[in-house]
Amino acid sequence: MKLLLFQAQKFYWASFSKTLESVPEQNVSETVEEALVVFYHA
C-alpha cells in the first residue's frame, strides 16, 4: 500500500476522461478550501 498525503489551502479537480464504459459520463469541476488530500494506491 502507498499513500500520498498533503494538506492544501485550496484543492481543485476536474473530470478528464471516462475510463469505464458501464458508468455514465460526468462533468465535474470542484474546489475545496482547507483540505487534506490523500491518494491511495493498493
Q: What is the pLDDT of residues 4-34, one digit of tens each?
A: 999 999 999 998 888 889 989 889 999 999 9
Burial class (CB in 10 A: 0-12, 13-18, 19+), 35: middle
Q: What is the pLDDT of residue 18?
A: 85
* DSSP letter, residue 23: S
Per-residue pLDDT, 37: 93
| pLDDT value, residue 17 | 87
pLDDT band at 36 (very low <50, low <70, confident <90, very high): very high
> Given this model, what pLDDT does residue 2 score?
96
Write down the pLDDT at residue 19: 86
